[in-house]
Every structure is written in C-alpha cells, then in structure tokens.
C-alpha cells in the first residue's frame, strides 16, 4: 500500500518535472534559432577560449542600460555572451556614479566590468580604482569613432572603452505646458507655475550642473562661492520639486505623475515611446555632454574575461542591439552605420557638431576640496541646516536623562528595601 | 457597541489588506499601468518565470536562509544552555549584548557589519558576497533562537544534566536524553523565526552584499528603483499565496497538536 | 569526564564578540577617527549640521508611533476578548500582511498614492480633484503606520490576553464606569505591552530609509537616508556615517531607558 503511494507520488513528480523541463526546452530552442539568425561575431575562437573553465564575471552597470530581451524581438545581451563564451555573467545595477564609487571605495568587492561616466573615470584613475586595459584583447576598439578617443578623462585611451554618449535635456508634458519648444530653457525648472510637478536629478553632479548652467558658471567650476551660489539656487528650487529621482523617472513621467524632468537624452527617448503627451528638448543655452565608458576595476579577478566582455559589447551587432534598446547615442562606428537614417538625423540623439562644439561641456573630475564641498552642500540642500550646537547639547541632555532615570531608580530601590 | 467594534476591526483589516489586493489584481492587468485595469493576462507570470535574475536571487535567498537558520539554531541552542547555567552577572552581560541586534535599528547592525567586513577585506582575502551575507544573517538570527530557547529552561532542573552524567551518561548522551527533549519546542520555534527573518531581511543584506549573491529582497529593491515591470506584482501575488499556505499548514499542525494534547495554554 | 553546561556557550560567545561587539565598537572607532586613523571630534560635531533631519525623523516617527498605538489598542483589546478558538485565526489574519516583504507593501502604497494612482482615480470618478499624496511627509507617516502596525498589535495583545475577565467584573462591582475601568484597570495592566509596542514601532520607524525614499520622494530625508547616503549613496563618507549611527544609537538608548521607567517588571535592557 505504502509502496504504491510512494510510486504514484514519484511518477506525479516526474511528470510535473517533465512538463517544466519540456517548456523550458522549447524556449531554449527558440532562443537558439534567434541567435543563429542575428548574432554574428568576427572571431569565434577568440570568444571560446575560456569555454568549460567555469569562469564567471561580475558586471556592474547602470539600471536600464543594456538590452535584456524583455521586449519582443530584442536580444538578451548577457545571455548571448554566456552562450558564446561559457562565461557566467553576474549582473547587478547602480543608479548613480557616486553609488558606484562608494561601493568600490568601500572595498571588498570584485567587479570585473563597470561603466562609469567621464568625470568619475578620471577620479577613479586618480585613486587607482581602475586599471589599464590590454587593448590587444579588445580588437573591436577599432570601431570607436575618433571623436570619442583621447578625451580629457582618459587622454591616452588606456583605461576605458566608450559605451555610449549623450546630452542632458528636459522631458516635458507638451499637452500641459504651453511654452513653445524652442523657448524652453533650464529656468522652467524654477517656474512657480509648475510647483510639485517637477522631478529633479537625485545626484549632486547633475543637479549642480543645471544650476550652474542657469547661473552662467562653468560646469566644472571649483570656485567655492560659485558652488555655494549654485547650492542656493537648488535650495530655492526645492519648494517646487515633487521628488528627487534617478531611474524612477521612467515610470513617473510615463504615468504622468509630473510635468517636467531633466534627464539623459537616451532615456528620455525611451520614455517618450510610452507616453505620447511627452516631448524632449535640449535647451539652446547649453548642456552637459557625457560619455559613459567601460572600465575594469583594480580589484577585478577576471581581467581577461572582462576584456572579452568589453570587446563583445563593441561587436557591431551587440552594440547595435544595446543602442537600439536603450536609445542612447553610440560612439561605435559600425553600430552607427546600422542605425536607421531617421535616428541618425535625430537632433536629440545626434545633435549637429556645431552645437556640440559650442554649447556642450564634458564634466571633468573636480578637486577633492570641490568634491567635498559639493557633497556637503548637496546633503545640506536636501536637509536645510540648523544650529551646529544642537547635537552636542542634545547629547548632553540625553546623558542627563539617563543619569536622572538611573539615580531615581537607585533611590527607589533603596526605599523599597527599608 | 459590539457592532461598532466589528466595524472598526473591519476597517483596520481593510487598511491592512487593500494594498496587497491591489498588487494581486494588477498582476493580471494587461497593460503596464498600475491604476487602470485594462484586461486580463497571465503574461507577467510567464515573464517572471523566465526572469533569470529573480529566479537566481530566489535560490540564493533560500540557500542563505536555510544555512543561516540551521547554523544559528545550533549555535543559539548551545548558547542558551550555557547562558542558562551562568551566574547572575555574566549572564546579564551576555544577555544584554545578545539583545543588541534586536534593539538596535537594522541599519546600525548592517552598517557595523559592513565596517567590520571592509576592515577585514582590506587586510585579507575576504570579499563581500555569499560569505558576508551568511555571517550577517547568522548574527541577527542567533539572538532570536536564544530568546526562544531560554524560557524553556524555567521548567527544567539544572542539576538533571549533571545527575545524568554522574549516572554514567556521556556528556553528549546526557544532553540528548535529558536537555534536548525539554527545550525542543523552543528550538523549533526559534528555528522558524530565524528562517523567516532571513527570508525577509533587506536592510542588513543591503549593506553586506557584494558583487554576487543577490537575495530576493535586494532584487526587489533594485526593481522598484528602475522602470517597474508588473512582474513585481506577480511576484507579490506568489509570495502572498506561499505565505497563506505556510500559515494554514502551520495552523493545521498546531490545531491538531492542540486537540491531541487536549489542553489549553498558548 | 564531566562537562559543565556553561561551556556550551563558548562558540557563541566568540561569535558574539567578533560579530556583535566588535562591529559596534568599530562604529565608535570610525566616528572618532580620520582616514589616517588619528583621533578627531570633527565628524561627531558635523552631525550637528543635520540636526533638523534628526528633529524631523524623531517627530515623524513619534507621530507614526502615536497613531499606531491609538489604532492598535482597540484592535488588541477586541482580539484578546474573543473566544479562544477564534483568537488564533483572527490574530493570524491581522499578522498575515506582515509576512509579505515590506518592500512590496511599500511599493503597493506607491501605486495607490500616486498623482495618477488608484485613489486619485477613484476620487476623480466622484468629481474630486487630484489630491497630492505621494512625496509628502504624510505619505511617509502612512507608510510607517502601515508597515509597523502589527508590531504594536502583537505585544499589546499578548499582555491583554493575560488580563483576567474577573478584573473587569470586580472593577464594575466596585462602582467603576467603563471609562474608569479602562483608565484604572486596563491601561495600567497593559503597560508592559504599551512600552514594548512603542519601542518596537519607534525604533524601525526612526531608522528607515526605504519608506522615505519610496514614499517621500527623496526630498524628505530621514536619519536612515542620511546614514545610507554616507555608506552606499551619493555622499560617500563612512566616518560621518558612523558618527550619525552613533548619535542614533544614543537617541534610541534614551528612549529605551525612559520606556523602561514605565515598565513595572524590572527586567533586562539596561
């Protein structure tokens, strides 16, 4: 009797397992077909070197910054890499350059590939947080356009391989904001009319940049007074700001939670696809131009595999899949060629070279003092300061309360005894 | 008056359950909107099962919770036995320190462990990841085990164990035959508590995780910070169903035990 | 060979020292030193800059705790007066939401409170304009109350269930009105539940960073956000972070000590 019952149980289990693996299997074949159709790499042998070694690499990237295959017909880049090379990818996300920096600086982590922005790259080079690349292992570097080589943050192209670039602009609800597109400038983010309808960058460097643009300062100013003035400007804006966000902007803008938000051009294009009321403008008065590039931290354990991953990301097909999915601008000439004419001429993704030359600024790393000051001003802006004697006095009061309580208890005990 | 009370209770329950039911309902929503229901679909569930990051972090969470709760149950049970036979002053000291992870805000415990781990990481080969997560989980689990086991000693005569050894039992046998049966209910409830805390913990894991081994709560957190996919609603629904099932089974077992023993007591 | 029971705790004692005591001491060490390891009071006094964040956090979590107490007290009382077999089921129903991960529960409120969220949609259909709810202090308090309400109900219930029914009868026999019974009998007897409920709600509420981030919109920093920012966020400075944690611990110690004064049992915790 018992035996039979166990038998039934096992067969039911086996059946359900079979069903599961069955459906998983069918999906696999589908994906493989997809791969053989779309993915061509130049040198397969280069990628299969580590097959069977059981290597894994840790990739730390911005959120929403790679093609994941979540939408129909797109490529799951990490899965393709794993399939091709046999190297497992542990993929995790950060939201700001500063978060990435904190994680690396704290120590004890071993990320193999990271994608910081320009100014953070030079800061990391200075602090030895990233290491020089072996360009012989990254033959696809040849696809990187000349404009994106030898930039100020990495003049000798030793540490980084550009992944994307772009500008910062304003996403706005064209239905409810009647200012004509050409006239929208950064000061609209300070407009009382749109109180509680404005989203703002939740990281100091980007937020300060907007205030600095408005005040006519350099985006790389280290002048303490100018930084202070910019912080004042941000403080003034705080009353109109609904929330300080990073990638939360995707859902908030798409769902119509707010009317205005400064953000990166590529993400803005993605958001525009979800809500037709929205439009995006790069203010004529100027903006920040950023380059995000792939680097290998000094603490990386799998340098060669990481270089392979970087090389893979520069494969024309892969670079195209990523750019197509995240809508940023590409520094990869082959991927650029594959883009639709329409995209290549879109002034949002690829502004004309005159505008880039005259009206955009690339961030450079600030001095430690300026960085510290900005950090402090930023936290202060988000909190508004009070008297500096408050905490010492508060602590003394606390100690006093404890002492009082203990003494009272002591006296009470004595009384109880008698 | 009684009616008023019932209405009040119903309102509180409504407050507690409405958000959860909203999540559940919108897990079947065809569009991505979380405020307008446009049509029924099971798509998000299908996607959820194909989301490698979620599946692998679920596996990680289970592995860590199982190992951490077993280790902390063993560690905590022995600790409770030892603490119980200490003298008054050392006992009070140890108990006060043991209570610290419970009293302290989670963020302080998380930060303090993070500082410790990065101190070690700078001096030897320790890496944030599975090991640090496991240590952190055991650290905040053990106090719960101890607090569950300690009260069980109140009914036990502390001399029984020594008496058993005097009568020729080996220390291990004496422990197994005399001590363990007395404290078993506390050990089991301590284990269960440790296990659920481990499954659920976000804050401490957030500060002690590294480049690998994300747990489910950490994955959920990073999901809510990006474009949110209704997969998260589907996930909530499944977790809710799992919780309900576990509680029903647990209650069923308890009720049966309750009936069999034929007596009350909590 | 005879083994004393107290040696059983040796492995745990080692663990406790290395992973509970030493890390806490490290917070103190980090708070009082510079990068190069020399002693400084700079970080502790720097905490003063953020005094209003402390005031705000204490204020918001006090409000949340008070609301929790007011809401939970009748619930716990009713639970404790139910028939025995219904109590268990009812308690389970009340506690069940707590078993969902709190990130998911907070996320649920995000979708409910949004400007285009469900509540505003419902208000819209009955002709009321959209109400700004998310990204306000009120939303943060709501999130705290929702997440920590069970922490208040449970200790209250576990104390009240031990109050014998005859107490009420005796009180009314002695001429107490029901209000007087509540004031003179129920509340004093449930004091241990009240104090532990208050600490169980207040401590997580004052140190949260998720609720303020998800429902407060990043412009309403709490102590938790401030600490998180110094370790993993936009303002990397572990020394300052440690100093803030230290101050937070002192605040909580004070609260606990004060709470213990109302607790008739002279038990653990300092």
Residues in chain C with CB shorter than 8 Å from the CB of B3 are none
Whole-angstrom distance, CA of residue A191 vs CA of residue B33 = 29
| DSSP codes joined into one string, A148-204 | GSS-TTSTTS-S-EEEEEEEEEEEEETTT--S-GGG--GGGGG-GGGTT-EEEESSH
Residue of C nearest to B89 (CA): C268
pLDDT (tens digit, 9 = 90+) per residue, A354-368? 999 999 999 999 999
C-beta separation of C190 from C159 below 8 A: yes
Note whether A368 contacts B: Cβ–Cβ < 8 A: no
- Domain span at residue A156? 8-163+292-349
Any idea what the Cα angle at residue A260 is, between residues A257 and A265, rounded to 5°? 110
Nearest to B211 among A90, A95, A247 (CB): A90
> According to the model, what pLDDT value does residue A407 have?
83
pLDDT score of C228 = 94
A129 and A154, same domain (yes or no): yes
Residue B38: list chain A partners with CB under 8 A: none
Hey, which of A6-20, A62-76, A80-94 has the most confident mean pLDDT? A80-94
**Closest C-alpha to C97, from C134, C136, C135, C150:** C150
Q: Does residue A70 lie in a domain region?
A: yes
How far is A78 from A60, CA to CA, in rounded Å? 12
Q: In terms of domains, do A194 and A336 share one?
A: no
C-chain residues near B79 (CB < 8 A) = 8-9, 11-13
Query: From the list B127, B222, B225, which residue is nearest A110 (CB)?
Result: B127
Same domain, A138 and A200: no
**Facing B118 at nearest CB: one of A95, A106, A248:** A106
Neighbours of chain B (3+ CB pairs under 8 A): A, C
Other beta carbons within 10 angstroms of residue A24's beta carbon come to 11
- Which pLDDT value is given to residue C50? 84
Q: Taking 80 as the threshold, does the pLDDT of residue B156 lie above it?
A: no
At residue A117, the 3 state secondary structure works out as strand
For position A373, which CATH number holds?
A: 3.40.190.10
Instruction: Calculate the alpha carbon distances from C252 to A396, B177, C45 in Å.
Output: 14, 43, 19
- Which pLDDT value is given to residue C257? 80
CB atoms within 10 A of CB A227: 21
Q: Is the pLDDT of residue A19 over 80?
A: no
Q: pLDDT for C102-118, tens place per residue?
A: 999 999 999 899 888 88
Judged by CB atoms within 8 Å, which residues 4-43 of A form the interface with C?
Answer: none
Claim to verify: residue A376 and residue A337 sit in the same structural domain: no
Q: Which chains touch A (3 or more CB pairs under 8 A)?
A: B, C
What's phi and psi for C126, nearest 5 deg? -100, 15
Instruction: Evaluate whether A286 touches A213 at the Cβ level (below 8 Å).
Output: yes
* DSSP characters over C101-167: -HHHHHHHHHHHHSTTSHHHHHHHHTTPPP---TTSHHHHHHHHHHHHHHHHHHHHHHHHTTS-HHH
Q: Where in the sequence of chain B do the CATH 1.10.3720.10 domains occur?
A: 52-260
Q: Which range, of A262-271, B34-43, B69-78, averages the lowest pLDDT?
A: B34-43
Q: By CA distance, what is A102's nearest residue in B?
A: B207
Quick check: C108 and B236 CB within 8 A?
A: yes
Together in a domain, A137 and A173: no
In a domain, residue A225? The reply is yes
Residue A296 tokens, joined: 């290998």
pLDDT of residue C7: 83
CB < 8 Å to B242, chain C: none
How many domains would you assign to chain A? 2
CA-nearest of B84, B66, B209, B61 to B141 is B66
CB C159 within 8 A of CB C82: no
State the pLDDT confidence band at B260, using cuts at 50, 70 and 90.
low
A contact test, residue of C137, C218, C256 with most A CBs within 10 A: C218
Per-residue pLDDT at A42 exceeds 80: no
Across residues B189-213, what is the average pLDDT?
A: 91
Helix (DSSP H) and strand (DSSP E) numbers for chain B: 12, 0
- The answer to whether A390 faces chain C, any CB pair under 8 Å, is yes
SS3 call for A398 = helix
Candidates B100, B103, B95, A399; CA nearest to C199 is B103
CA distance B81 to chain A (A): 31
Question: Which one of C48, C236, C247 has the shortest CB-CB distance to A101?
Answer: C236
Residue A142 · residue A311 · CB < 8 Å: no
Question: In which element (H, E) is residue C169 found?
Answer: helix C165-173
pLDDT at A389 over 70: no
Strands A296-297 and A260-264: unpaired
What is this model's ipTM? 0.90
Q: Does B226 touch chain A (CB under 8 A)?
A: yes
**Mean pLDDT across the stretch A407-417?**
72
**Closest chain B residue by Cα to residue A271:** B227
Q: Are C193 and C160 in contact (CB under 8 A)?
A: yes
pLDDT tens, residue by residue, A211-256: 999 999 999 999 999 999 999 999 999 989 999 999 999 989 988 8
Which residues, at least 6 apart from B211, have a Cβ–Cβ distance to it below 8 Å? A58, A60, A90, A92, A109, A110, A111, B127, B128, B129
DSSP structural state of residue A292: E
> In a 3-state reduction of DSSP, which class is residue C41?
coil
> Does C84 score more than 50 pLDDT?
yes
Q: How many angstroms separate the most distant Cα atoms in chain C?
A: 83
Distance between CA atoms of residues A243 and A382, nearest Å: 11
Confidence (pLDDT) at B86: 86
Structure tokens at C104: 């998911």
Do A257 and A171 touch, CB atoms closer than 8 A?
A: no
Residue A31 pLDDT exceeds 50? no
Cross-chain residue pair B227–A247, CB shorter than 8 Å = yes
Q: And the tokens for B260?
A: 């069999």
A149 falls within a domain: yes
Least-confidence region, from A59-63, A128-132, C216-220: C216-220
Of all residues in chain A, the percent with pLDDT exceeding 90 is 65
CATH homologous superfamily for the domain C27-33+40-96+133-158+194-262: MetI-like (1.10.3720.10)
pLDDT digit string, tens, across residues A72-110 = 778 899 999 999 999 999 999 999 999 999 999 988 888
**Whether the predicted model's global pTM rises above the 0.80 cut:** yes
Cross-chain residue pair B122–A108, CB shorter than 8 Å: yes
Residue A417 has pLDDT above 70, yes or no: no
Q: Is the dihedral of CA C30, C36, C39, C41 positive or negative?
A: negative
- Count CB atoms within 10 A of the CB of residue A181: 11
Neighbouring chains to C with at least 3 Cβ pairs closer than 8 Å: A, B
- What are the tens digits of pLDDT across the range A315-349? 999 999 999 999 999 999 999 999 999 999 999 99
- Report d(CA A58, CA A88) in Å as an integer: 9
Q: Are B195 and B62 in contact (CB under 8 A)?
A: no
Does residue A276 share a domain with residue A322?
no
Q: What is the pLDDT of residues A134-190, one digit of tens each?
A: 999 999 999 999 999 999 999 999 999 999 999 999 999 999 999 999 899 999 999
What is the rounded distance in angstroms from the CA atom of residue A386 to the CA atom of residue A390? 7
Q: At what angle do helices A77-85 and A2-38 cross, to 10 degrees?
A: 100
Distance of CA C168 to the CA centre of its chain: 31
Please check whether residue A399 lies inside any domain of the structure: no
Cβ of residue B46 closer than 8 Å to a chain A Cβ: no
CATH number of B52-260: 1.10.3720.10
Cα distance from B7 to chain C (closest Cα, Å)? 11
pLDDT digits 0-9 by tens, C36-70 = 889 998 898 888 888 888 888 988 999 999 999 99
Per-residue pLDDT reduced to its tens digit, A263-274:
999 999 999 988
Whether residues A148 and A68 fall in one domain: yes
The Cβ of residue A71 has, within 10 Å, a number of other Cβ atoms equal to: 8
Same domain, A344 and A280: no
Residue recorded with tokens 């329409």: A342
Within an 8 Å CB–CB cutoff, is residue A273 touching chain B?
no
SS3 for B85-104 is CCCHHHHHHHHHHHHHHHHC
Mutate to test the interface with A, among B227, B230, B232, B234 (most CBs of A within 10 A): B227
Question: Is the pLDDT assigned to residue A57 strictly greater than 80?
Answer: yes
How would DSSP label each residue in A207-244?
Answer: HHHHHHHHHT--TT---HHHHHHHHHHHHHHHTTEEEE
β-pairing, A241-245 with A198-201?
Answer: parallel
The rounded mean pLDDT for chain B is 88
**A201 or B153, greater pLDDT:** A201
Distance CA B145, CA B192 (A): 9
- Interchain proximity B5–C74, CB inside 8 Å: yes
Let me know whether A228 and A337 are in one domain.
no
In residues, how long is chain C?
270
H helix and E strand count, chain A: 16, 12
């Amino acid at each position: 009797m018992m035996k039979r019952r166990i038998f039934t149980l096992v067969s039911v289990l086996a059946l359900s397992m079979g069903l599961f693996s069955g459906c998983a299997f069918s999906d696999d074949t589908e994906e493989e077909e997809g791969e053989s159709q779309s993915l061509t790499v130049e040198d397969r042998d280069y990628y299969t070197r580590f097959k069977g070694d059981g290597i894994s690499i840790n990739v730390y990237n911005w959120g929403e910054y790679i093609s994941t295959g979540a939408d129909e017909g797109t490529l799951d880049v990490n899965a393709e890499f794993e399939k091709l090379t046999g190297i497992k990818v542990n993929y995790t996300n950060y939201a700001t350059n500063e978060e990435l920096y904190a994680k690396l600086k704290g120590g004890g982590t071993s990320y193999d590939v990271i994608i910081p922005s320009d100014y953070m790259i030079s800061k990391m080079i200075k602090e030895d947080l990233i290491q020089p690349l072996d360009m012989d292992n990254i033959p696809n570097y040849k696809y990187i356009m000349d404009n994106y080589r030898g930039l100020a943050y990495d003049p000798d192209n030793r540490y980084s391989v550009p992944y994307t670039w772009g500008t910062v602009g304003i996403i706005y609800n064209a239905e409810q904001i009647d200012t004509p597109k050409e006239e929208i400038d950064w000061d609209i983010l300070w407009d009382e009319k749109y109180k509680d309808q404005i989203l703002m960058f939740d990281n100091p460097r980007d937020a300060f940049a907007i205030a600095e643009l408005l005040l006519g300062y350099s985006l790389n100013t280290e002048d303490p007074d100018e930084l202070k003035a910019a912080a004042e400007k941000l403080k003034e804006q705080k009353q109109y700001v609904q929330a300080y966000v990073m990638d939360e902007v995707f859902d908030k803008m798409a769902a119509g939670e707010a009317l205005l938000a400064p953000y990166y051009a590529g993400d803005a294009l993605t958001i525009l696809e979800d809500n037709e009321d929205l439009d995006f403008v790069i203010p004529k008065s100027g903006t920040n131009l950023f380059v995000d590039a792939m680097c290998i931290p000094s603490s990386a354990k799998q340098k060669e595999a990481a270089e392979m991953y970087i090389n893979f990301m520069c494969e024309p097909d892969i670079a195209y899949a990523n750019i197509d999915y995240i809508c940023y601008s590409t520094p990869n000439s082959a991927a650029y060629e594959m883009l639709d004419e329409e995209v290549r001429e879109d002034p949002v993704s690829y502004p004309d070279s005159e505008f880039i030359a005259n009206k955009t600024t690339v961030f450079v790393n600030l001095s430690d003092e300026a960085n510290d000051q900005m950090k402090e001003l930023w936290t202060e802006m988000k909190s508004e300061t009070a008297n500096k004697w408050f905490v010492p006095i508060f602590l003394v009061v606390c100690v006093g309360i404890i002492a009082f309580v203990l003494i009272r208890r002591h006296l009470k005990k004595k009384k109880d005894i008698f | 008056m009684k009616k008023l009370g019932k209405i009040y209770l119903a309102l509180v329950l409504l407050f507690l359950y409405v958000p959860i039911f909203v999540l559940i309902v919108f897990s079947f929503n065809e569009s991505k909107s979380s405020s307008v229901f446009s049509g029924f679909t099971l798509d998000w569930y299908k996607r959820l099962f194909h989301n490698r990051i979620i599946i692998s972090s679920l596996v990680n969470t289970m592995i860590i919770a199982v190992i951490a709760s077993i280790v902390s149950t063993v560690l905590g049970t022995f600790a409770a036995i030892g603490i119980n036979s200490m003298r008054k002053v050392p006992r009070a000291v140890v108990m006060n320190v043991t209570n610290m992870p419970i009293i302290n805000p989670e963020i302080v415990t998380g930060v303090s462990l993070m500082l410790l781990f990065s101190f070690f990481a700078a001096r030897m080969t320790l890496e944030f990841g599975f090991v640090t997560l496991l240590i952190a989980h055991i650290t905040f689990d053990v106090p719960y085990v101890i607090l569950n086991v300690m009260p069980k000693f109140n009914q036990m005569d502390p001399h029984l164990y020594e008496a058993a050894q005097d009568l020729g039992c080996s220390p291990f046998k004496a422990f197994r035959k005399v001590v363990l049966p007395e404290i078993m209910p506390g050990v089991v409830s301590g284990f269960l508590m440790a296990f659920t805390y481990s499954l659920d913990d976000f804050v401490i894991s957030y500060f002690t995780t590294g480049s690998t081994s994300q747990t489910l709560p950490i994955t959920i957190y990073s999901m809510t910070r990006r474009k949110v996919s209704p997969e998260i609603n589907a996930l909530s629904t499944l977790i809710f169903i799992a919780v309900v099932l576990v509680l029903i089974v647990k209650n069923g077992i308890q009720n049966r035990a309750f009936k069999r023993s034929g007596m009350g007591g909590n | 060979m005879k083994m004393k029971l107290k040696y059983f705790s040796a492995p745990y004692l080692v663990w406790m020292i290395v992973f509970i005591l030493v890390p806490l001491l490290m917070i103190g060490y980090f708070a009082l030193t510079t990068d190069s390891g020399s002693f400084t009071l700079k970080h502790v006094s720097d905490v003063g800059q953020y005094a209003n964040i402390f005031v705000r956090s204490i204020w918001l979590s006090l409000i949340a705790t008070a609301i929790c107490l007011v809401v939970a007290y009748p619930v716990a009382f009713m639970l404790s007066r139910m028939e025995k077999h219904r109590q268990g089921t009812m308690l389970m129903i009340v506690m069940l939401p707590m078993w969902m991960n709190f990130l998911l529960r907070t996320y649920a409120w995000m979708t409910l409170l949004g400007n285009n969220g469900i509540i505003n949609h419902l208000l819209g259909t009955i002709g009321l304009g959209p109400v700004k709810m998310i990204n306000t202090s009120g939303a943060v308090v709501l999130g705290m109350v929702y997440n920590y309400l069970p922490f208040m109900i449970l200790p209250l219930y576990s104390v009240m269930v031990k109050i014998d029914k005859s107490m009420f009868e005796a009180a009314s026999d002695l001429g107490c009105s029901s209000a007087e019974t509540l004031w003179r009998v129920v509340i004093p007897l449930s004091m241990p539940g009240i104090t532990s409920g208050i600490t169980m709600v207040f401590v997580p509420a004052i140190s949260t960073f998720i609720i303020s981030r998800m429902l407060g919109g990043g412009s309403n920093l709490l102590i938790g956000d401030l600490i998180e920012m110094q370790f993993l966020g936009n303002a990397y400075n572990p020394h300052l972070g440690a100093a803030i944690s230290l101050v937070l611990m002192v605040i909580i110690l004070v609260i606990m000590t004060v709470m213990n004064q109302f607790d008739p049992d002279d038990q653990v915790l300092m």
